[in-house]
């Protein structure tokens, strides 16, 4: 498992060597230890412990271009200027991105404030109603920001469902292929331009919402944020933060609450409500599609199994009765 993460950045030396360079450049004190964060699919993230405290380090994936890294930093800096609770970036020479070269390998990275707590994924719990309300409050703040940066392609994003399906449909089981193929037709009939667009996080799920030891909630990882239909954020969050695989009614109540809560800040259009169930299904379908692809390569982890089960369960719940009950009681 550790080798797979090291391969993301072509790490050919001991991680402590990189960490000591970071300590020197950022004046973080003396190196003590490092712990790889094994949740996530893109970059190399780890916790750096020094004599002055703990820090989160993100080393960008070797396949990310300089433009990709620049776009990521711009998004984090935008979020920092708002009321969103997100870890602050540390700077070197007034720059948020740092480049370190060791044994002819270039590491592009940034260092974040360490949040003393855990993600809801690590906690293994679904957020309470009050916590979901706070997440939605922060989501609405995100949607009111102005993003002036290039589009970032995300293979997990709903918006890219048609292209990803064509690329990876051969890895699906016969049953999954039939279900996802039906969704492709519905997806292509959505008029994306008719949907209100905003600066969207794109991935407000249990791995990207931290709860610190004081109960404060933090939104992390704006790596795939884009200017997209805002309803996408609601669909992605609903199919994860609201999903109780053992209780359909609880799931419906939380999705209904998300929609009602969001409308306290931004009124949803009738068309957004119309396509919401389809986007909810596609968010789950993307999980099935991407994880089927990973499984075909023999790359399967406990996190993968969790997301696959969640995606399957989300599609299983979704039917006409499920959605009619939600929208009939949604004010």
CATH number, domain containing residue 57: 3.30.200.20
pLDDT top residue among 197 and 12:
197
Q: Are residues 195 and 242 in the same domain?
A: yes
Q: Are residues 319 and 221 in the same domain?
A: yes
DSSP 78-93: HHHTSS---PPBP-BT
Q: Are residues 58 and 172 in the same domain?
A: no
pTM metric for this prediction:
0.88
Q: Which of 87, 114, 141 is the last residue of a domain?
A: 114
Q: Count the residues in the chain.
A: 331
Q: Write b or e for each residue in 3-25: b if 16 or more Cβ atoms lie within 10 A of its Cβ, otherwise e.
A: eebeebbebeeebeebbbbbbeb
Evaluate if residue 329 carries a pLDDT over 70: no
Report the distance separating Cα 2 and Cα 6, nearest Å: 6
- Domain housing 173: 119-329
Name the nearest CA neighbour of 158 among 75, 240, 39, 60: 240
Tell me which DSSP letter residue 98 carries: E
Name the nearest CA neighbour of 202 among 221, 218, 183: 221
Q: Are residues 252 and 306 in the same domain?
A: yes
DSSP 111-164: EEEPPSEEEHHHHT-PPPHHHHHHHHHHHHHHHTS---S-----TT-GGGHHHH
Q: What is the pLDDT of residues 185-216, one digit of tens each?
A: 999 999 999 999 999 999 999 999 999 999 99
Evaluate if residue 242 carries a pLDDT over 80: yes
Percentage, residues of the chain above pLDDT 90: 69
Q: Are residues 57 and 130 in the same domain?
A: no
Q: Are residues 275 and 178 in the same domain?
A: yes
- The pLDDT score that the predictor gives to residue 269 is 97
Evaluate if residue 169 carries a pLDDT over 90: yes
- Asked whether 60 and 109 are in contact (CB, 8 A), the reply is yes
Q: What is the pLDDT of residues 49-108, one digit of tens each?
A: 999 999 999 999 998 888 889 988 988 988 888 889 999 999 998 999 999 999 999 999
Evaluate if residue 7 carries a pLDDT over 60: yes
Cα–Cα distances in angstroms (integers) from residue 78 to residues 21, 51, 144, in the given order? 27, 30, 11
CATH number, domain containing residue 230: 3.90.1200.10
Q: C-alpha 304: how far from its chain's center? A: 14
- Structure-token match 């068309």, residue found: 271
Tell me if residue 228 falls in helix, strand or coil. strand
Contacts 24+ apart (CB under 8 A), 162-170: 162/187, 162/188, 164/286, 164/289, 164/290, 165/289, 168/289, 168/290, 168/292, 168/293, 169/289
Evaluate if residue 1 carries a pLDDT over 70: no
Q: How confident is the model at residue 39 (pLDDT cuts 50, 70, 90)?
A: confident
> For the chain, what is the domain count?
2
Q: What is the pLDDT of residues 261-281, one digit of tens each?
A: 999 999 999 999 999 999 999
Evaluate if residue 129 carries a pLDDT over 80: yes
Report the distance separating Cα 283 and Cα 242, nearest Å: 13
Evaluate if residue 177 carries a pLDDT over 90: yes
Q: Are residues 75 and 138 in the same domain?
A: no
Q: Are residues 304 and 269 in the same domain?
A: yes
């Amino acid at each position: 498992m550790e080798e797979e993460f090291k391969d993301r950045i072509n790490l050919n030396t001991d991680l402590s060597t990189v960490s000591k360079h970071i300590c020197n450049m950022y004046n973080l004190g003396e190196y003590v230890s490092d712990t790889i964060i094994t949740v996530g699919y893109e970059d190399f993230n780890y916790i750096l412990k020094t004599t002055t405290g703990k820090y989160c380090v993100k080393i960008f994936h070797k396949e990310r271009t300089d433009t990709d890294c620049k776009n990521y930093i711009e998004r984090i800096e935008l979020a920092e200027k708002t009321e969103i609770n997100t870890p602050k970036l540390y700077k070197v020479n007034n720059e948020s991105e740092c480049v370190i070269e060791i044994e002819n390998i270039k590491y592009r990275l940034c260092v974040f404030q360490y949040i003393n707590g855990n993600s809801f994924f690590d906690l293994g719990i679904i957020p309470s109603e009050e916590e979901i309300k706070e997440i939605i409050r922060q989501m609405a703040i995100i949607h009111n920001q102005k993003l002036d940066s290039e589009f970032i392609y995300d293979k997990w994003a709903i918006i890219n469902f048609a292209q990803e399906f064509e690329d990876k449909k051969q890895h699906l089981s016969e049953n999954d292929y039939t279900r996802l193929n039906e969704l492709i037709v519905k997806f292509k009939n959505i008029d994306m331009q008719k949907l209100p667009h905003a600066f969207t996080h794109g991935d407000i799920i249990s791995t990207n919402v931290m709860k610190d030891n004081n109960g404060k909630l933090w939104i992390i990882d704006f790596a795939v944020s884009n200017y997209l239909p805002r309803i996408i954020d609601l669909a992605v969050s609903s199919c994860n933060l609201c999903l109780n695989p053992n209780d359909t009614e609880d799931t419906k109540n939380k999705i209904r609450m998300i929609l009602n809560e969001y409308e306290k800040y931004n009124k949803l259009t009738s068309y957004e409500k119309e396509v919401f169930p389809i986007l909810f299904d596609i968010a789950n379908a993307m999980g099935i599609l991407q994880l089927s692809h990973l499984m075909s390569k023999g790359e399967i982890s406990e996190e993968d199994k969790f997301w696959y089960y969640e995606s399957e369960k989300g599609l299983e719940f979704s039917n006409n009765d499920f959605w009619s009950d939600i929208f009939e009681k949604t004010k």
